[in-house]
Amino acid sequence: MRTVFWEDHQLKMIDQRVLPARFEIASFRDHKAVAQAIQDMTVRGAPAIGAAAAFGLALAGFESASSLTVDLLADLRRAAAVLKSARPTAVNLAWALERVMRVAEKKMEEERSASDLRDAVLNEAQRIADEDVEINKRMGEHGAALIDDGDTVIHHCNTGALATVDWGTALGVIRTAHEQGKRVHVLVDETRPRLQGARLTAWELEQYGIPYDIISDNMSGYFLKSGKAQKVFFGADRVAANGDVANKIGTYMLALAAHDNGVPVYPVVPTSTIDLSIAHGDLIPIEERDPEEVLDIQFQGERVAPIEARARNPAFDVTPNRLVTAIVTENGVIHPPFDVNLRKPESNIS
């Protein structure tokens, strides 16, 4: 089953807020509800929110009563702005919306009917979703070559089928290596504060029969320094032109500890996550979420923090390119210098 799919004229998505306690499918008929679902993380993970936003635009097309393409296009532009504002860091969101809007604009230039335009928007959203699965499988093949039989891998956040349309990015690499018969053990960073590792990655690894242990985020230094982990894999929400990688908060500290101990660090990213318009990582917008996500935690059944406590909650950090060993994409493994190699025609990044 896909994480994000179109069925019965609705967008359907696995509700990632309630896993692993419950497996529920949420249904959407209007784009504003999709924007809300992206914001509240019913759907999350850069490629998954890109596909969800594209389908959200398709819903906006069907919501619009306009019979003139010019009016329909204006409604779509307004909807795209609403969807884009849901989360700022993952570039896949803007990338998918721009791709669908280009198709809509082309249909208008061709003087096609409003109904043709609506269908074209839905078809493009469906193409984005289908391509995502195929791209992930290709990244899986390229990345699995970096995993040796018997490796223990540290993985941050959730980058599996749930974070994409299906299969996954970094977790897709681990899954491919497992299917190739390599013995891989995963140390799953629990990934405070939303616990995507402990809740979602652990749930996925259970389904795939891949052995794992959950570790709290502050344990990775111990495992890296004591030689108990051989590789670090994670995904990304945006990669700048110089190879700086924005990913889930905590990735930077993990990469630092890996680098200090000579352990290779591999972000696994579709080329749609690489933003050549951003020169370096400090320019990537970092989402700051509700502090309650940090404070909403119990120990032995009791609230941890004093009731009046304040917190900070930046959702992402930037790992500088010097800590990155190589970047796995669907077109192959890209090595440093990233400012040169990401722009090479064979990297196929636009």
Report which of 34, 89, 49 is spatially closest to residue 251, judged by C-alpha positions. Answer: 89
> Which residues, numbered 190-229, are part of the site for ligand MRU (CB under 6 A)?
196
With binding defined as CB under 6 A, does residue 248 bind ligand MRU?
A: yes
By C-beta, is 116 or 293 nearer to ligand MRU?
Answer: 293
Q: Which is nearer to ligand MRU, 134 or 148 (CB)?
A: 134
Q: How many angstroms separate the CA atoms of 14 and 58, rounded?
A: 19
Interacting residues of 344 by C-beta distance below 8 A, sequence separation 6+: none
Smallest distance, Å, CB 168 to ligand MRU?
6
Q: Which is nearer to ligand MRU, 90 or 318 (CB)?
A: 90
Q: Under rule CB under 6 A, which residues in 99-118 are in contact with ligand MRU?
A: none
- Least distance to ligand MRU, CB of residue 84, Å: 15
Strand-strand pairing, 332-334 and 327-329:
antiparallel
What is the phi/psi pair of residue 229, to 5°?
-135, 135
> Is 42 a residue that touches ligand MRU (CB under 6 A)?
no
237 is catalytic: yes
| Cα(319)–Cα(60) distance, integer angstroms | 36
Nearest to 297 by CA among 209, 192, 204: 192
CB 188 within 8 A of CB 205: yes
Catalytic residue among 166, 237, 244, 317: 237
> What does 288-304 look like in DSSP terms, one character per residue?
B--THHHH--EETTEES
Q: Which is nearer to ligand MRU, 247 or 329 (CB)?
A: 247
Helix (H) or strand (E) holding 74: helix 69-84
Q: Of residues 127-186, which lie at the interface with ligand MRU (CB under 6 A)?
A: 157, 159, 163-164, 169
Residue 235 engages ligand MRU in binding (rule: CB under 6 A): yes
**Residue 236, interface with ligand MRU (CB under 6 A)?**
yes
Binding to ligand MRU (CB under 6 A) within 311-350 occurs at 315
Out of 3, 13, 14, 45, the only residue in the binding site for ligand MRU (CB under 6 A) is 45
- 103 versus 286: smaller Cβ distance to ligand MRU: 286
31 is a contact residue toward ligand MRU (CB under 6 A):
no
Q: Residue 43 to residues 89, 210, 229, 335: CA-CA distances in angstroms?
A: 15, 24, 30, 31
Is residue 53 at the binding interface for ligand MRU, with CB under 6 A as the rule?
A: no
* Cα four-point dihedral sign 282, 17, 216, 304: positive
Site residues for ligand MRU per CB under 6 A: 44-47, 90, 157, 159, 163-164, 169, 196, 234-237, 247-248, 315
For the annotated catalytic residues, the residue numbers are: 237
